[in-house]
C-alpha cells in the first residue's frame, strides 16, 4: 500500500472547520456559532472531495447499527464516539394510514423509538456531546423545549459530564421527570423558550459551558443529517420524492436536505428532486405565516399551543427552511391544537405508533396537504415522527376512551363486553367464538 493510500484510509474525519452560512468566512472548529463579520450562523465545513467514490454503501452497512455508521459525515475526530445505539430507527411502509389518506407510497420514519430518550434529539446530542468532550468541556448545558433536556441529561450521564439544563416552567410532567431522573441540575425558568434561550446565551458567554444548541450548535445540528442518510439507506439507497417534517427552529428540516445533498455529492445515491414540506402548530407558526404571506423573513411570534416541543417563536433557521420549501416545490402548513390531537390518534389507530404533539402536528399537516392536492398519491413520501407520546400524555387526556372497569368474574366481563360492542369500541368477530 502506498503511503498516500494508507493515509487516506487512516483519515478519521473529513471536516475542516466552520464556515459562515452568509458570508463564507472560515473559522477553526471551536465552540463558536456566530460570524464575527456579519453575525451569520456558522456551519461545519467538509472536504468531501476525497471521500467521493471512496466510501461505499457496503462500508456504511458494515458499520455500527447507530448514527455512527455515518461517522465520516459527522463533525467529530474520535474513533470512539458516545454511542448509546442512537439512530437506525424503523422506516415503516404505511398501509392503513396510507389507505385512509389515499396515498400509495407512504413511509413513516419512527424516531418515537429513538435511543436513549425516545426523540430525534438523541441524534443531535450524541454528536454535540462527543464534540464537547473533544473540545475539553466538562459541563454541558442546553436551552430546551423538553426533548433536548431529556437527551442532554441522559447522554451526559452516560459520558460522565456535568450537566445543567434550562427549560420553560410550563413543560409537560413527563418531559420534566424524564430529565430529572438522570440527576442533572434543572433550571425551570418563568418564561417561554425564546426567553430561556436568551438567558442561556448570556450564561454561555460567562460560564464556559458547552451549550449543545448555542456555542456547540454547528456540531449539534449536523446530527440531524442522519435522518436524511438513514431514510436514503433504508429506502434501498434511493432518495424519496417528498418529505414532511416538523419545524421548530427549522434546523432539522434544513439538515435532512443537507444530508440528501451530501449523499448525492459523494456518489452514494442518484440525484433526485426531493420536495420538502414543513409542519407547524398554528399557535406557533412564524415560518408557516411567512410562507403563506410570501415573505423571505420570519417575524417572531409568542407561542401558545399544546405542541410545546416545537414552540419556538423566533426560529434561528426559519429563513433557510422557507428557502428550501420554496425551491423544492414543497409547502409549509400549520394546524390547530384540535387537529394535532386528531393527528396523534390517527397515527396510533392506523399504525400502532404513539407519538407526541410534534408528531400529531406532522400527521395533521400531511393530511391537510393530501386533501389540498399538494401531495400526489404516487409520490414516495416520508413523514418524520420525531417524538414519543408517553412524554405528552396531557395532550390526549379527555380525548381518548376510558377503560371498562370490571369485577374478576366472567359475567362482569360479559356485561362490559356487551356495552363495548354497543359503543362500537371493539371490532366484534363472531367467527372467532
Ligand atoms: C426539537 C424538536 C423538533 C424540531 O427541531 P428543530 O431542529 O429545532 O426544527 C421536532 N420534533 C421534536 C419532537 C422536537 O423535540
Ligand atoms: Zn459571516
pLDDT tens digit sequence for 157-185:
999 999 999 999 999 999 999 999 999 99
Q: Is 269 left (phi over 0), alpha (psi -120 to 50) or beta?
A: beta
**Partner residues linked to 15 by β-bridges:** 46
Atom of ligand 1 nearest to the CA of 111: 13
Query: DSSP for 138-206?
Result: SEEEEE-SSHHHHHHHHHHHHHT-EEEEEEETT--HHHHHHHHTT--EEEEESS-HHHHHHHHHHHHHH
pLDDT value for 430? 47
Q: Which helix (H) or strand (E) holds 414?
A: helix 410-422
Q: By percentage, how much of the chain surpasses pLDDT 90?
A: 91
**Ligand 2 centroid vs 304 CA: distance in angstroms?**
33
Task: Say which residue, 13 or 278, is predicted with more confidence.
Answer: 278
Band (pLDDT 50/70/90 cuts) for residue 381 is very high
Is the beta carbon of 322 within 6 A of some atom in ligand 1? no
pLDDT tens digit sequence for 386-408:
999 999 999 999 999 999 999 99
Q: Sort strands 91-93 and 106-110 into parallel, antiparallel or unpaired.
A: antiparallel
**Ligand 1 centroid vs 358 CA: distance in angstroms?**
8
**Ligand 1 centroid vs 119 CA: distance in angstroms?**
9
Q: How far apart are CA 184 and CA 153, in angstroms?
A: 6
pLDDT tens digit sequence for 68-89:
999 999 999 999 999 999 999 9
Is the beta carbon of 147 within 6 A of some atom in ligand 1? yes
Looking at residues 215-234, what average pLDDT do you find? 98
Domain boundaries, the chain: 91-117+222-395, 401-433
pLDDT tens digit sequence for 24-44:
999 999 999 999 999 999 999
CATH number of this structure's domain 91-117+222-395: 3.40.50.1100
Q: Compute CA 51 distance to the chain's CA centroid, rounded to the nearest angstrom.
A: 27
Looking at residues 278-289, what average pLDDT do you find? 98
Is the beta carbon of 386 within 6 A of some atom in ligand 1? yes
Atom of ligand 1 nearest to the CA of 245: 10
Nearest-CA residue for ligand 1 atom 5 is: 248
- Whether residue 47 contacts residue 73, with contact meaning beta carbons closer than 8 Å, is answered with no
Is the beta carbon of 142 within 6 A of some atom in ligand 1? no
Could you say which ligand is closest to the alpha carbon of residue 255? 1
Is the beta carbon of 318 within 6 A of some atom in ligand 1? no
Is the beta carbon of 248 within 6 A of some atom in ligand 1? yes
**Closest by CA position to 226, among listed 72, 389, 353:** 72
**Ligand 2 centroid vs 131 CA: distance in angstroms?**
23
Atom of ligand 1 nearest to the CA of 148: 15
Count other C-beta atoms under 10 Å from residue 368's C-beta.
18
Residue 142, C-alpha cell as written in the block: 442546553
**Ligand 2 centroid vs 38 CA: distance in angstroms?**
4
**Site to substitute for ligand 1 among 89, 109, 122, 248, most atoms within 8 A of C-beta:** 248
**Closest by CA position to 85, among listed 123, 35, 31, 34:** 123
The distance in angstroms from the start CA to the end CA of the chain is: 71
Whole-number average pLDDT of the chain: 94
Is the beta carbon of 385 within 6 A of some atom in ligand 1? no
Count other C-beta atoms under 10 Å from residue 183's C-beta.
11
Nearest-CA residue for ligand 1 atom 14 is: 309
**Ligand 2 centroid vs 43 CA: distance in angstroms?**
11
Q: How far apart are CA 355 and CA 58, in angstroms?
A: 33
**Ligand 1 centroid vs 386 CA: distance in angstroms?**
7
- The runs of H, that is alpha helices, within 29-138 are 57-61, 96-101, 121-134
Amino acid at each position: 500500500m502506498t503511503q498516500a493510500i494508507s493515509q487516506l484510509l487512516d483519515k478519521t474525519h473529513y471536516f475542516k472547520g466552520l464556515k459562515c452560512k452568509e458570508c463564507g468566512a472560515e473559522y477553526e472548529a471551536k465552540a463558536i456559532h456566530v460570524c464575527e463579520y456579519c453575525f451569520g450562523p456558522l456551519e461545519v465545513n467538509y472536504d468531501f472531495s476525497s471521500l467521493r467514490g471512496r466510501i461505499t454503501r457496503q462500508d456504511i452497512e458494515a458499520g455500527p447499527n447507530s448514527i455512527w455508521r455515518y461517522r465520516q459525515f459527522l463533525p467529530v475526530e474520535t474513533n470512539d464516539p458516545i454511542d448509546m445505539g442512537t439512530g437506525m430507527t424503523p422506516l415503516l411502509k404505511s398501509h392503513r394510514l396510507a389507505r385512509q389518506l389515499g396515498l400509495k407510497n407512504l413511509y413513516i420514519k419512527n424516531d418515537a423509538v429513538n435511543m436513549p430518550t425516545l426523540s430525534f434529539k438523541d441524534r443531535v446530542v450524541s454528536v454535540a456531546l462527543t464534540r464537547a468532550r473533544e473540545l475539553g468541556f466538562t459541563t454541558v448545558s442546553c436551552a430546551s423545549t423538553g426533548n433536548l433536556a431529556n437527551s442532554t441529561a441522559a447522554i451526559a450521564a452516560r459520558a460522565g459530564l456535568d450537566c445543567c439544563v434550562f427549560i420553560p416552567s410550563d413543560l409537560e410532567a413527563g418531559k420534566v421527570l424524564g430529565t430529572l431522573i438522570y440527576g442533572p441540575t434543572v433550571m425551570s425558568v418563568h418564561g417561554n423558550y425564546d426567553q430561556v434561550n436568551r438567558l442561556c446565551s448570556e450564561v454561555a458567554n460567562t460560564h464556559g459551558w458547552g451549550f449543545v444548541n448555542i456555542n456547540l450548535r454547528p456540531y449539534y445540528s449536523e446530527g440531524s443529517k442522519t435522518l436524511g442518510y438513514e431514510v436514503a439507506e433504508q429506502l434501498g439507497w434511493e432518495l424519496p420524492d417528498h418529505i414532511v417534517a416538523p419545524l421548530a427552529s427549522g434546523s432539522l428540516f434544513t439538515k435532512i436536505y443537507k444530508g440528501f445533498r451530501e449523499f448525492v455529492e459523494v456518489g452514494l445515491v442518484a440525484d433526485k428532486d426531493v420536495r420538502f414540506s414543513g409542519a407547524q402548530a398554528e399557535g406557533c407558526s412564524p415560518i408557516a405565516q411567512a410562507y403563506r404571506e410570501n415573505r423571505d423573513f420570519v417575524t417572531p411570534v409568542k407561542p401558545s399551543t399544546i405542541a410545546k416541543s416545537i414552540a419556538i417563536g423566533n426560529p434561528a433557521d426559519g429563513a433557510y427552511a422557507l428557502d428550501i420549501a420554496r425551491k423544492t416545490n414543497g409547502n409549509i402548513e400549520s394546524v390547530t391544537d384540535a387537529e394535532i390531537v386528531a393527528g396523534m390518534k390517527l397515527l396510533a389507530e392506523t399504525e400502532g405508533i404513539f407519538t407526541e404533539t410534534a408528531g400529531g402536528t406532522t400527521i395533521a399537516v400531511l393530511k391537510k396537504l393530501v386533501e389540498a392536492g399538494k401531495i400526489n398519491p404516487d409520490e414516495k413520501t416520508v413523514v418524520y415522527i420525531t417524538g414519543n407520546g408517553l412524554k405528552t400524555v396531557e395532550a390526549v387526556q379527555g380525548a381518548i376512551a376510558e377503560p371498562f372497569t370490571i369485577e374478576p368474574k366472567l359475567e362482569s366481563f360479559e356485561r362490559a363486553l356487551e356495552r363495548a360492542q354497543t359503543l362500537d369500541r371493539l371490532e366484534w368477530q363472531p367467527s372467532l367464538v
